[in-house]
Amino acid sequence: MKQILVTVPVEIGPVFASKYIYKRVTQGKGHAYSLSDYIYQSVGMSHKVEQDNHKGFDYRRLVSMMERHFHIERVSGITGLPTILNTQVGIIAASKYGKRNQYLRTGDAAAAITDGQKIV
């Protein structure tokens, strides 16, 4: 079965807190976070922060959304450290729809449609 690899930034926890402070001190920029947003993001409660690009992003929500269509085989930090201490996380997944994979491998989208399969 074919797999996909998705890499996304870790924008929660101590990594977020460190990156945010570093950008503010060294570059004087970064997304505008209120004090409460900064605290929520730092303790992993990103659902309380309005998302705008990286602001409010939480890779765990992405994994939950992906689980609807994919078997999540692995979620881990890129460097081998615990995920929460990485700046990036890798998600390895495989489609839940074996027949769809068969059609997509052969490139025959028309056959998938006539067979009643939805291509997302």
Q: Are strands 3-9 and 70-77 parallel, antiparallel or unpaired?
A: unpaired
* pLDDT interval class at 82 (50, 70, 90): confident
Q: Does residue 9 carry a pLDDT above 80?
A: yes
Phi-psi region of 100 (alpha: psi -120 to 50; beta: other; left: phi over 0): alpha
Is pLDDT at 52 greater than 50 in this prediction? yes
98 pLDDT higher than 70? no
> 9 Cβ partners below 8 Å, 6+ apart?
54, 57, 59, 87, 88, 89
| pTM reported for the whole predicted model | 0.70
Question: Which carries the bigger pLDDT value, residue 112 or residue 71?
Answer: 71
Mean pLDDT of the chain: 80
Any idea where the domains of the chain sit in the sequence?
A: 3-114
Predicted pLDDT of residue 14:
93
